[in-house]
Amino acid sequence: MKIIVINGPNLNMLGKREKSIYGNNTLKDLEDYILNKFKKVNDEIIIEFFQSNHEGCIIDKIHESMDRYDGIVLNPGAFTHYSYAIHDAIKSIDINVVEVHISNIHKREEFRQKSVTASACMGQISGFGFDSYVLGITALINANNVFK
């Protein structure tokens, strides 16, 4: 099974921005954390990463993913709250997508509490830090019955 983790705007600034919300760890730390969590099943699960601050690049990556990956874990960042274009991109492909967030968006500012992209996804996980990604990947593995 091949999974891509797509991170949206400002996630390249992990470890530098709003440390009280996102902590001190970097995007590279996040990627290493995910790979470490799944290293025991590494022969059966391939995980790749992509980050962009540009909506169109994220949409292009979602489109490209249909023929290359079995699932997507997506943190759209601020695009979560207003990108109908990313919503439509998710709807245009025929693979499972799980939306994830490091913080609990439902406990944040009012504008962050609504996701326009989540309804296009198989589910949303938020508020568990880096483990939100691990839970998202686990959901994709279970949905694809990799170990059954």
User: Which residues are the active-site residues?
Assistant: 22, 101
Q: What is the DSSP letter of 145?
A: T
CA–CA separation, 115 vs 81, rounded Å?
5
- Among candidate residues 42, 61, 41, the one with its CA nearest the CA of residue 51: 61
Beta-bridge partner residues of 124: 99
Q: What is the DSSP code (8-state) at residue 6?
A: E
**Cα gap 126→104, rounded to integer Å:** 5
Q: How many CB atoms lie within 10 A of CB 109?
A: 8
């990947």: which residue's tokens? 137
Tokens 């391939």 correspond to 46
CB 128 within 8 A of CB 135: yes
